[in-house]
Amino acid sequence: MKAAVFKAAGSPLVLEDVPDPTPEASDLILKVGACGICGTDLHMSENTDPGVGWRVLQPGCVMGHEFAGDVIEVGREAQNRWSRGDRVTALPWIGCGECSDCRAGRGFRCAQGKMRASLDLPGAYAEFCRVGAGEAVRLPDSVSFREGALVEPLAVGLNAVRRAQLRPGDRVLIVGAGPVGLSVALWCRFFGAQHIVVSDLVPARVERSLTLGATAAVDASEGNVREQVADAAGGQPRVVFDCVGMPGSLQLAIDYAPHDARIVVVGLCMAGDHLFPTKALVKELEIIFAFIYRQEDFETVVQLLGQGRIDATPMISDHVDLTAFSDAFEALKQPNRQIKVMLEPN
């Protein structure tokens, strides 16, 4: 099959013929319908070791963990539940299925688990992809593959907003209007926040947040963000989400937060950061961190998409095929107006 293969840090992915995946007994093989490009993959392709125990990418591996497709092959032990032609999305890992983390739906913590984008579990920047039957989630017919590929980033937002413990009527500020920020905006709306203000330095991105649940968009490149937020929301936010994940972004969230606010850090900052704790201390802020999601969040997103109760399609800003993919991936490393670019390899 054709796949976009990682070669070396900082160099473009290369479209190559690689062996077709084969299923182990409890696996499914998908024909990939759509796979979103994730900011994490862009970070990982730079291959700097953040020193948190993550492996760096091996030359020859294939990334892509936000995907959906048709089942074309079913492993021996999965045939009682799955058939060719089933439409699925899947979690970006294969866990042992037995340990307490796997049973809690957090297979990404499983000591024997495989995370996608390793040599033994390639991702879906390819024509076909292997998934664990236990990690596969059936898509209702009404959910397109493009929407199915949004389940993963939507689950990231759902986990973050669940951890924020919003109350109906809350005012929230979301710093960063990338896919994570937009996903968080959608869930804040769903859970009844009254004022959802999104700030970003890129006006085109922040404008798009208005189609995904934001009640006001703030251009952080102009004027005082705190004043703009107070004007837009009639007061200060009770919850501030850091959806940027760059050195300095948590400090910004602290600076924007009023006394007694809660900060939820969702953006993945892959470098050391420097902040001034006393600024958080004097405000008595509560700072919490949200990472990935539970399998249950993933399944909830699929059900709500199937019921037509959430619509995340405005997150998709472009789509490409495999031949144009490497260039599209490189372009996202430069400042851009894209939100979510979808690969449609077949």
Interacting residues toward Zn ion by CB under 5 A: 38, 40, 95-96, 99, 102, 110
Q: Which is nearer to Zn ion, 95 or 345 (CB)?
A: 95
* DSSP string for residues in 55-76: PPPPTT-----EEEEEEEEE-G
CB of 85 to Zn ion, least distance (A): 27
Q: What three-state secondary structure class fits 306? A: helix
Q: Which residue has the tokens 């995904």?
A: 212
CB of 84 to Zn ion, least distance (A): 27
Q: Are strands 66-74 and 27-36 parallel, antiparallel or unpaired?
A: antiparallel
How many other CB atoms sit within 10 Å of the CB of residue 192? 11
Which of 15, 6, 16, 18 is closest to 44 using CA atoms?
A: 6
Let me know: does 237 contact 172? Beta carbons within 8 Å.
yes
Q: Which is nearer to Zn ion, 100 or 334 (CB)?
A: 100
Which of 62, 69, 63 is closest to 31 using CA atoms?
A: 69
List CB contacts of 112: < 8 A, sequence separation 6 or more: 95, 96, 99
CB of 111 to Zn ion, least distance (A): 7
- In what helix (H) or strand (E) does residue 9 lie, and over which residues does it extend? none
Q: Which is nearer to Zn ion, 124 or 218 (CB)?
A: 124
Q: Which is nearer to Zn ion, 151 or 232 (CB)?
A: 151
CB of 266 to Zn ion, least distance (A): 12
Q: Count of H helices and E strands in the chain?
A: 11, 17
CB of 47 to Zn ion, least distance (A): 17
Q: Which is nearer to Zn ion, 23 or 134 (CB)?
A: 134
CB of 103 to Zn ion, least distance (A): 8
CB of 301 to Zn ion, least distance (A): 13
Let me know: does 38 contact 66? Beta carbons within 8 Å.
yes
Q: Which is nearer to Zn ion, 38 or 197 (CB)?
A: 38
Let me know: does 297 contact 274? Beta carbons within 8 Å.
no
Q: Which is nearer to Zn ion, 237 or 245 (CB)?
A: 245
* Both tokens assigned to 106: 């957090």
Instruction: Name the region of 314 (left: φ>0; alpha: ψ -120 to 50; beta: rest).
Output: alpha
Let me know: does 218 contact 206? Beta carbons within 8 Å.
yes
CB of 2 to Zn ion, least distance (A): 22
Q: Which is nearer to Zn ion, 69 or 237 (CB)?
A: 69
